[in-house]
Amino acid sequence: MGVFMAAYMNRRAFLGTVGAAGLALLAGCSNATGSSSASSGSAAADNPASQAASAPSSAATSTSMTGRTLTVGTLATEDILPLWVAQTEGLLQKHDLDVQIVPFQSATELISGVSSGEVDLAMTDIMVTASMVASGVDVQMQWVTLGVDASQGRFGIMAGPDSNIQKIEDLTGVPIGVGSNTILEYVMDKLLEGAGVPDDQIIVEELQKLPVRYQAMASGEVAAAALPGTLLALGEANGCKLIADDTQGQNLSQSVMIVQGELLSDEQAVRQIEALEDVWDEAAGFVNANPESYRAVLVSNANLPEEIAETYPISTYPTVQLPTAAMVEPVLEWMQKKGYLSKPLAYDEKTGTFSA
C-alpha cells in the first residue's frame, strides 16, 4: 500500500480537488463529474477554464501526415489504452496521421485544455461533457472508449478489512466516502438504489481526494467508500471487502472521446478524425486479441501501482460507436435532480450532441 500511495501523491489526482473527468492514476471509465461543485473528480468544479492546461514534455508524437496535428488530451488511465497501443504498433504512421497524445496531470488542466481549444479531442466522460456544453463549450461526444457494456470499466463500493459492513443494505443511513458531483457518486447512488436503499438514507461523507478516501476506508475512518477499479483492486489485494460494483446488471458508466465542435466543419480535420477512429478500432482489436501482450504498455502509461501491476485485469475495448440514449439520459436526469446541471440538456444519440 505504501508504494502505491507514494507514487500517487507525487501526482495531482484527477479526482482530487476538482471533479471527475478520469483519474490521473487510477480511473477506470474515467471518474468524472459534471458541473460546478468541487469534488473528487469534478473537472468543472474548480473552474478549469480559468486555468492553463499543461502539455508535459513526455507527450509522444507520430509524424508523417502533412497538415494539422491532432492533439488528444487524456489522463494517465486505462480508458485510452488503444491509443497508447497504436503508438507502440506504429498504427498512426500506418494511417498517415500526425497525432500528439498529451497526458495531463489533473482533470482541471485537461478540461482547461479543451475549453481553451488547446486540445482537439479529449478522453473524459458523459457528466463532464454535459457540464461543459451547459456552460457554453462547443464539444460533442465522438465515441465510447470504455463502457459499452457493464463489464468494461469498474466502479464500486468497498469497506475496510475491519468494517462491520458486509452487504450493500448495511449501508442504509451510513456515511459513505465519495466526492459529490462525480461519476462515482452517480454509480454509488444507482447501486444503493438498486438494493432498495431510500434516497434519504444515502449519506455522503465528502472526501474529495482519492488517496485520502482510500486510506479513510482502509483504516476504518469511514465505513465504506466509492472507488474506481484500480483502487478496488488495490483494496482487494490488501484485505478490504468489495461490497458492490457495477460490472454486472445495469451498465452505469462510460468514458468517452470528445471533439471540438469547430473541427467538424473542417473537411481535412474530419478526415483525420475518421482515420483516428480506424486506428482506434485496429488497436482495440490488438488488445482484445492478446491483452497480456500490452500489459507493459498499460502499466507504463496508466501508472498502475506495483502491487497490482501484474494482476490487474485488462479490459476489452469497444470499436468506435456513439454513446446511446440509454447510456446518457439517466446521467442527465440524475444531474438535473441533484442540481449539477446549470440548465436542462437533451441528447441526440445519432450525432453525439447535446442541446438545451
Per-residue confidence in pLDDT tens, the chain, 356 aa: 443 343 333 222 333 333 433 333 333 333 333 332 222 233 322 322 222 223 333 333 333 444 689 999 998 889 999 999 999 999 999 999 999 999 987 777 888 999 999 999 999 989 999 999 999 999 999 999 999 999 999 999 999 999 999 999 999 999 999 998 888 999 999 999 999 999 999 999 999 888 999 999 999 999 999 999 999 999 999 999 999 999 988 899 999 999 999 999 999 999 999 999 999 999 999 999 999 999 999 999 988 889 999 999 999 999 999 999 999 999 999 999 999 998 899 999 999 999 98
Q: Is the dihedral of CA 303, 132, 19, 247 positive or negative?
A: negative
Coil, strand, or helix at residue 184? helix
Q: pLDDT tens digits, residue range 148-203?
A: 999 999 999 999 999 999 999 999 999 999 998 888 999 999 999 999 999 999 99
* CA dist., res. 158 & res. 175, Å (int): 13
The H-or-E segment that residue 178 falls in is strand 175-178
Q: Are 347 and 140 in contact (CB under 8 A)?
A: no
The pTM assigned to this predicted structure is 0.80
Contact 85, 294 (CB under 8 A): yes
68 CB-near residues (< 8 Å, 6+ apart): 98, 268, 269, 272
Question: What residue has cell string 440514449?
Answer: 325
Looking only at the bridges linking them, the beta strands covering 353-355 and 224-228 are unpaired
**CATH entry 3.40.190.10 includes domain 2-151+253-355:** yes
Question: How high is the mean pLDDT of the chain?
Answer: 83
Q: Give φ, ψ of 182 to 5 degrees.
A: -135, 165
Domain range annotation of the chain: 2-151+253-355, 157-245
Instruction: Report how far residue 6's alpha carbon sits from residue 46's, in angstroms, rounded to the nearest whole number.
Output: 25
Q: 2-151+253-355 and 157-245: same fold?
A: yes
Residues ≥6 apart with Cβ < 8 Å to 240: 158, 159, 160, 161, 217, 218
Per-residue DSSP letter, 295: H
Contacts of residue 122, Cβ cutoff 8 Å, sequence gap at least 6: 72, 73, 74, 110, 111, 113, 114, 257, 258
Residue type, 25: L
Q: Kindly state the cell numbers that stand for 30.
A: 474515467
What element of type H or E holds 275? helix 267-289
Residues 6+ apart with CB under 8 A from 48: 18, 107, 108, 109, 110, 111, 112, 115
Q: State the angle between helix axes of 210-219 and 229-237 in degrees (0 to 180), rounded to the nearest 10.
A: 30
Question: Across the chain, which distance is largest between two alpha carbons, in Å?
Answer: 61
Tell me the sheet residues that pair with 259. Answer: 121, 140
Q: Does domain 157-245 have CATH number 3.40.190.10?
A: yes
